[in-house]
């Protein structure tokens, strides 16, 4: 690929309107200005340190590995094993040093480069915000659970109201939902929210009719239509919740630092109930702050954007972050799927700085409820991250963002490296078992060359790898234990330690299963297999046994065959890989049982995997639960037929009027289209709404004339049986 294919792409965009006068650095050569900032020199030194800390131990460990192998690296097979081992050792070393430096950063309690205190004297109050300043809170959604989306937004709204900052923010719900009934439910939820808080002048809902470029296209459409009205926008995901004080603080930081383009918060995983999700959110809460501080230590002002819970300076985002199509066919060409890293790199290329506010609380998200749901999400992310490799040599990007592209791809490619390493090691073990040793490999000699096996070297290497993987978790316990009051929020030091040990056990069992899935994802992408980009499961749905067998059964079978072969040919090596083989054999029950909400609730009663947000519920999460419960109780009172948003839009005058108002003005249609839609409407009236396909429902509800005609015709149906199919007469619940 020509690394210059992005050159000039953004210069062809329409020149933006003049930036606000208080944008002190806008339009100046930011790339030159940032070189004089103190953090840039510190970042350069720190990254050189990281490179040395990774390369030197990796070289030494690879030398140890050479001596562990039977032929001491003299065959092509063993050279390949050493190469893959070195890559994997370097990969886990990065995580170890990131955690260690994060631990030291948090223990010191004073980070002169933290964006929350950068350029601010201790005790100095934040400057008052301009009352006329408006920040857009933007939530792009696509076929998400309506009750969860609006419960989260209403919790944020209430938190801002408590903080006395509601006047500084506007809310935008940007829908790409295609299914007609779900879209109607979104409209109802938006209108009910606006009416409840008198928010029609600050809460806005927009649904696109043409869904171009997925989420990035959705946000781009917002920027084209309304971006010039806002200095900043805060990007949310469908499961995001943020405290009002945190939102205000983010705006204050952007106002203080005119060179900052994005500030990413470190969201805390909360609100899940299944065993799998509770373990994941516990691990995120215990280890996450340390790793986030470590990431900040290396990145400083060259941070990354995770796509949500982030504040963005709108004008430079509009000017520099439009995404091109990658040359070639999908999955590695076409639309850029994982847009967030690319947008951060493009904003950095323009000279704007990007920071991770690792020490800023009040930012929340949710994790997938089951292992299989996590794998479905990772399948999408894998394709997007592999696309980033094609941007690695794009002109003008900073080295830090190129490294982030590589790191993102390696988060999935490393699984294939591990799988290949295990495969090559298995071949080596089988060869060693069935091949006669050569005592005179160089011809006749007085002294044979005896095969030498040094188990102490192998054990030492295993101990070092174990330290790299598990020592950061011990540091996390120490970090929490140093603050007694903080430790009580995790159930106390004893329960915290037991929970960490159980998390290590479960994560060790799940790691081989993830390895197989991620390896498969990488290979499928390289073979040209694309993936559907559907919304993530936001509920607590459990994995059934049939689904678990379908997804994991073959993996368990080949793991059993792998283990049996090794036990027969090389029992000694078999015991070395037993943890991996055993985890794969147990994949079906592990996937099914860890998805159980009952098991998750049981561990909570026992005080295991507790997080502070469960011990003392933040106000925002309390509001989230209250709004969610109220929405579900209202839905439970509705007759079954009225759970269908399409039926409600056709029958309920209130819902129909709301939907019709949001459709906008009528458009002239060709006679053939009008005839086809009339026939579709007649069929629906004659046979009932259930005969219509999703596309046909969408056609009727996107047409103002068809929507009006459908509503009028439903109420004119004379036959009781046909009318009952639409939930009338007398069966439509009164709208609130």
Tokens at 226, concatenated: 């309304």
Q: What is residue 203's predicted lDDT score, i.e. its pLDDT? A: 96
Q: What percent of the chain has pLDDT over 70?
A: 89
3-state secondary structure of 135: strand
Angstrom distance (rounded) from CA 411 to CA 320: 27
Give whole-number Cα distances, 154 to 89, 161, 267, 292, in Å.
46, 10, 18, 28
Q: What is residue 688's predicted lDDT score, i.e. its pLDDT? A: 82
Residue 698: how many CA atoms within 13 Å on its side-chain side?
13
Q: What is residue 326's predicted lDDT score, i.e. its pLDDT? A: 87
Q: For residue 652, name the pLDDT band (cuts at 50, 70, 90).
A: confident
In a domain, 101, yes or no: no
Q: For residue 9, name the pLDDT band (cuts at 50, 70, 90).
A: very low
Mean pLDDT within 284-313: 95
Is residue 4 scored above 80 in pLDDT? no
Q: What is residue 25's predicted lDDT score, i.e. its pLDDT? A: 46
In a domain, 529, yes or no: yes
Q: What is residue 700's predicted lDDT score, i.e. its pLDDT? A: 87
Q: What is residue 123's predicted lDDT score, i.e. its pLDDT? A: 60
Angstrom distance (rounded) from CA 317 to CA 46: 28
Q: What is residue 453's predicted lDDT score, i.e. its pLDDT? A: 63
Q: What is residue 8's predicted lDDT score, i.e. its pLDDT? A: 33
Same domain for 561 and 710, yes or no, is no
**Of the residues 567, 585, 614, the one at which a domain ends:** 614
Of 30 and 339, the structure prediction assigns the larger pLDDT to 339
Same domain for 34 and 142, yes or no, is yes
Q: For residue 13, name the pLDDT band (cuts at 50, 70, 90).
A: very low
Sign of CA dihedral 301, 302, 307, 312: positive
Mean pLDDT within 210-219: 87
- Residues near 610 by beta carbon (within 8 Å), at least 6 away in sequence: 282, 489, 490, 491, 495, 499, 604
Same domain for 318 and 355, yes or no, is yes
Minimum mean pLDDT range among 12-26, 55-69, 441-455: 12-26
Minimum mean pLDDT range among 33-42, 243-252, 257-266, 560-569: 33-42
3-state secondary structure of 203: strand
Angstrom distance (rounded) from CA 55 to CA 64: 14
Mean pLDDT within 641-669: 84
Sign of CA dihedral 239, 244, 245, 249: positive
Q: For residue 710, name the pLDDT band (cuts at 50, 70, 90).
A: confident
Mean pLDDT within 338-359: 93
Tokens at 677, concatenated: 């839609």
Mean pLDDT within 497-515: 97
Sign of CA dihedral 399, 401, 406, 407: positive
Minimum mean pLDDT range among 64-73, 338-347, 405-414: 64-73
Q: Peptide bond before 331: cis, by omega within 30 degrees of 0? A: yes
Angstrom distance (rounded) from CA 30 to CA 32: 5
Nearest Cα residue to 240 out of 136, 156, 134, 357 = 156
What is the domain count for the chain?
3
φ/ψ region of 550 (left if φ > 0, alpha if ψ in -120 to 50, else beta) reads alpha
**Of the residues 614, 629, 652, the one at which a domain ends:** 614
Same domain for 460 and 402, yes or no, is no
Same domain for 315 and 359, yes or no, is yes
Mean pLDDT within 299-318: 95
Minimum mean pLDDT range among 160-169, 496-505, 584-593, 710-719: 710-719
Is residue 535 scored above 70 in pLDDT? no
Angstrom distance (rounded) from CA 234 to CA 247: 8
Q: How many CB atoms lie within 10 A of CB 393?
A: 14
In a domain, 689, yes or no: yes
Same domain for 572 and 475, yes or no, is yes
Same domain for 591 and 644, yes or no, is no
Q: What is residue 451's predicted lDDT score, i.e. its pLDDT? A: 62
In a domain, 329, yes or no: yes
Is residue 457 scored above 50 in pLDDT? yes
Q: Domain of residue 191: give its range.
A: 10-39+110-116+133-408
Mean pLDDT of all residues belonging to the chain: 87
In a domain, 326, yes or no: yes
What are 135-182's pLDDT values in tens digits? 999 999 998 999 999 999 999 999 999 999 999 999 999 999 988 889
Q: What is residue 284's predicted lDDT score, i.e. its pLDDT? A: 95
In a domain, 717, yes or no: yes
Of 251 and 28, the structure prediction assigns the larger pLDDT to 251
Q: What is residue 111's predicted lDDT score, i.e. its pLDDT? A: 84
Q: What is residue 14's predicted lDDT score, i.e. its pLDDT? A: 33
Looking at residue 304, which CATH number applies to its domain? Answer: 3.90.550.10
**Of the residues 592, 614, 636, the one at which a domain ends:** 614
Is residue 531 scored above 90 in pLDDT? no
The residues pairing with 365 across neighbouring beta strands, listed in sequence order, are 269
In a domain, 404, yes or no: yes
| 335 neighbors 325 (Cβ within 8 angstroms) | yes
Of 518 and 75, the structure prediction assigns the larger pLDDT to 518
Angstrom distance (rounded) from CA 493 to CA 327: 54
| 64 neighbors 461 (Cβ within 8 angstroms) | yes
In a domain, 302, yes or no: yes
Q: What is residue 70's predicted lDDT score, i.e. its pLDDT? A: 81
Is residue 89 scored above 60 in pLDDT? yes
Q: What percent of the chain has pLDDT over 90?
A: 61
Same domain for 388 and 370, yes or no, is yes
Is residue 15 scored above 50 in pLDDT? no
Same domain for 335 and 422, yes or no, is no
Mean pLDDT within 482-507: 92
Hey, which of 93-102, 439-448, 630-639 has the most confident mean pLDDT?
93-102
Tell me which H or E stretch contains 88.
Answer: helix 76-108
Cross-sheet strand order for the sheet of 268-269: 241-242, 363-365, 268-269
Same domain for 577 and 626, yes or no, is no
Same domain for 278 and 305, yes or no, is yes
Greatest extent of the chain over all pairs of C-alpha atoms, in Å: 108
Tokens at 570, concatenated: 């090389």
Same domain for 385 and 422, yes or no, is no
Q: What is residue 1's predicted lDDT score, i.e. its pLDDT? A: 36
């Amino acid at each position: 690929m020509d690394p210059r294919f992005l050159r000039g792409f953004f210069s062809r965009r329409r020149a933006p309107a003049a930036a606000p006068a208080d944008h002190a650095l806008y339009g100046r050569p930011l790339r030159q200005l940032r070189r004089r900032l103190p953090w840039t020199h510190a970042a350069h030194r720190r990254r050189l340190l990281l490179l040395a800390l990774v390369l030197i131990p990796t070289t030494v460990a690879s030398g140890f590995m050479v001596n562990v192998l039977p032929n001491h690296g003299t065959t092509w097979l063993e050279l390949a094993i050493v190469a893959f081992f070195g890559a994997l050792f370097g990969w886990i070393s990065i995580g170890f040093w990131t955690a260690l430096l994060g631990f030291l950063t948090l223990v010191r309690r004073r980070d002169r480069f933290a964006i929350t205190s950068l350029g601010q004297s201790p005790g100095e109050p934040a400057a008052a915000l301009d009352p006329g300043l408006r920040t857009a809170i933007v939530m792009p959604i696509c076929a998400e659970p309506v009750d969860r989306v609006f419960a989260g937004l209403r919790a944020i709204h209430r938190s801002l109201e408590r903080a006395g900052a509601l006047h500084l923010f506007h809310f935008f719900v940007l829908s790409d939902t295609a299914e007609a009934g779900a879209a109607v439910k979104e409209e109802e939820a938006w209108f009910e929210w606006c009416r409840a808080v008198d928010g029609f002048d600050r809460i806005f809902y927009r649904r696109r009719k043409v869904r171009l470029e997925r989420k990035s296209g959705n946000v781009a459409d917002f920027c084209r239509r309304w971006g010039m009205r806002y200095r900043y926008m805060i990007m949310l995901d469908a499961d995001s919740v943020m405290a009002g004080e945190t939102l205000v603080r983010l705006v204050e930081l952007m106002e203080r630092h005119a060179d900052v383009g994005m500030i990413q918060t470190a969201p805390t995983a909360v609100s899940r109930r299944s065993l799998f999700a509770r373990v994941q959110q516990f691990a995120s809460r215990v280890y996450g702050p340390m790793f986030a501080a470590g990431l900040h230590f290396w990145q400083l002002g060259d941070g990354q954007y995770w796509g949500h819970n982030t504040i963005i300076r709108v004008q430079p985002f509009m000017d520099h972050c439009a995404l091109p199509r990658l040359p070639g066919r999908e999955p590695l060409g076409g639309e850029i799927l994982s847009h967030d890293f690319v947008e951060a790199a493009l904003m950095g290329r323009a000279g704007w700085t990007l920071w991770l506010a690792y020490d800023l609380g009040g930012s929340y998200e949710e994790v997938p409820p089951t292992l299989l749901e996590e794998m479905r999400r990772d399948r999408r992310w894998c394709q997007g991250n592999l696309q980033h490799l094609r941007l690695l040599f794009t002109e003008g990007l900073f080295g830090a963002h190129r490294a982030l592209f590589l790191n993102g791809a390696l988060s999935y490619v490393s699984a294939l490296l591990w799988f290949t390493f295990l495969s090559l090691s298995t071949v080596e073990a089988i060869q060693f078992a069935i091949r006669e040793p050569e005592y005179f490999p160089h011809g006749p000699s007085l002294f044979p060359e005896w095969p030498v096996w040094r188990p102490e070297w192998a054990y030492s290497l295993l101990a070092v790898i174990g330290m790299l993987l598990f020592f950061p978790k011990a540091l996390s316990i120490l970090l929490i234990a140093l603050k007694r009051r903080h430790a009580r929020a995790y159930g106390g030091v004893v329960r915290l330690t037991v929970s960490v040990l159980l998390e290590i056990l479960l994560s060790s069992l799940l790691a081989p299963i993830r390895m197989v899935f991620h390896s498969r994802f990488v290979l499928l992408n390289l073979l040209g297999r694309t993936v559907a980009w559907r919304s993530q499961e936001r509920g607590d749905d459990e994995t059934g046994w049939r689904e678990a067998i379908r997804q994991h059964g073959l993996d368990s079978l080949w793991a059993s065959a792998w283990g049996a072969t090794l036990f027969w040919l090389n029992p000694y090596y078999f015991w070395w890989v037993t943890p991996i083989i055993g985890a794969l054999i147990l994949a079906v029950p592990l996937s099914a049982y860890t998805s159980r909400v009952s098991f998750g609730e049981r561990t909570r009663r026992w005080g295991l995997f507790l997080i502070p947000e469960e011990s003392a519920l933040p106000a925002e999460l309390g509001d989230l639960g209250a709004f969610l419960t109220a929405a579900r109780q209202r839905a439970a009172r509705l007759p079954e037929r009225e759970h269908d948003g399409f039926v409600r839009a056709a029958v309920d005058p209130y819902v129909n009027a709301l939907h019709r108002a949001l459709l906008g003005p009528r458009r002239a249609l060709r006679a053939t289209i009008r005839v086809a839609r009339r026939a579709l409407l007649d069929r629906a009236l004659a046979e009932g709404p259930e005969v219509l396909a999703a596309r046909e429902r969408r056609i009727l509800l996107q047409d103002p004339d068809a929507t009006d005609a459908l509503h009028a015709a439903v109420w004119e149906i004379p036959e009781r049986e046909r009318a009952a199919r639409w939930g009338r007469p007398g069966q439509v619940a009164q709208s609130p």
